[in-house]
A = this chain, B = another copy of it.
């Protein structure tokens, strides 16, 4: 199941980026499960990685390689095996795949960034990956975004892509990205990976700062089940081939670029929640009138991750009591129930410590019949607002996660 349209956008070629795919046979079912992304020389990259204390071997290697060679030439991504919980051998295995690719491309292993998603705790089948590399290289093409988006899928039911265009110093530049993930859930087959490319020329520090800003309220503001993968990664690659004046902190078009990048991140993040495991509904949990960002996010994530709230939405039940109770247990000091107001879309359902007197169950049920719903929670404590995207909790979530390895 998934919420909304599954149209993959028309993805343009980006000067300096080619993508190739192949079947390594790590993922069950048909289709390619290995993708390589080639970057032109002098490209730069920014990255954010999982905050899980136990990051997977490819994350460790990718971080290390980025430090040594801030100008990567290749991304190497496999689906079907996460190479996580694999200890020192996992590191060796990730390095071995990088060496195999650098041997084929006459490059430096440290200019290769490895990414893995899939089963945790199984040794990475290095030979299957290296055997598939020549085919992946043969298929390299600037047009291969959708194929690559499909090759990195695991429990995803659809490929995910997004594009934006913007003008920097008079030059047209494009930002295009693909992502996989059907939950922030780990260590199953549902790690979030996002690979975003642009032909813009940008200073590395600016690129990193832009990416960090944009992930905050996009990739870091979605949740399917509150679990965070050991393998999550989001990479922003800039080839510089649009030949714009280098984008740096003082560039007049910085805001325009940030806006476009944010749009791509937001679309990909939303696509992940829409494809959340077992999802039948997309919920925007908007918290307003908070004292600060910390408490706003605390309330939003407590509501978004509440199994009772999520099952009520699955049932189409406008159960405002469950939302109110989740707000109450979010750990915010001195919250006053009488100040809380809650809306389902435009319908005010809670005010003055309980059901809004003007609210009727019929109104609530009409909103709940939709497959996209905004829940707005006003705390009456301040000026800050935030938003988290999530989905409902259905029988299919249990099925997907209970039956996966059995």
Q: Which chain B residues border A90 with CB–CB below 8 Å?
A: 354
Q: Which chain B residues border A325 with CB–CB below 8 Å?
A: 52, 54, 84-85, 120, 186-187, 227-230
Partner of A328, one of B230, B306, B330: B230
Q: Which chain B residues border A312 with CB–CB below 8 Å?
A: 401-402, 405
- A119-B54 Cα distance, complex, nearest whole Å: 41
A394 at the interface (CB under 8 A from B): yes
A329 touching B85, Cβ below 8 Å = no
CB distance from A321 to the nearest CB of B (A): 3
User: Given A53-B332, A54-B328, A227-B307, do A121 and B355 touch, yes or no (CB 8 Å)?
Assistant: yes
- A330-B53 Cα distance, complex, nearest whole Å: 8
Oligomer: number of copies: 2
**A62-104 Cβ-contact flags toward B at 8 Å (1 or 0):** 0000000000000000000010111111100000000000000
In A286-335, the 8 Å CB interface with B consists of 305-308, 311-312, 314-317, 319-322, 324-330, 332, 335
User: Given A227-B326, A397-B307, do A355 and B85 touch, yes or no (CB 8 Å)?
Assistant: yes
* Size of the chain A interface, CB-CB below 8 angstroms: 69
B405 touching A350, Cβ below 8 Å = no
A403 at the interface (CB under 8 A from B): yes
Q: Which chain B residues border A225 with CB–CB below 8 Å?
A: 307-308
B185 touching A402, Cβ below 8 Å = no
B53 touching A335, Cβ below 8 Å = yes
Partner of A329, one of B227, B354, B398: B227
Q: Which chain B residues border A54 with CB–CB below 8 Å?
A: 324-325, 327-328, 335, 337, 340, 353
Task: Report A's interface with B, CB cutoff 8 A.
Answer: 51-55, 82, 84-90, 119-121, 185-188, 225-230, 305-308, 311-312, 314-317, 319-322, 324-330, 332, 335, 337-338, 340, 350, 352-355, 393-395, 397-399, 401-406
List 25 contacting pairs A-B, 8 Å CB cutoff, sorted by A: A52-B325, A54-B335, A84-B321, A85-B353, A86-B353, A121-B320, A121-B321, A121-B355, A185-B308, A186-B308, A186-B325, A187-B324, A188-B308, A188-B322, A226-B306, A227-B325, A227-B329, A229-B325, A311-B397, A311-B402, A315-B404, A316-B406, A317-B405, A319-B405, A394-B402
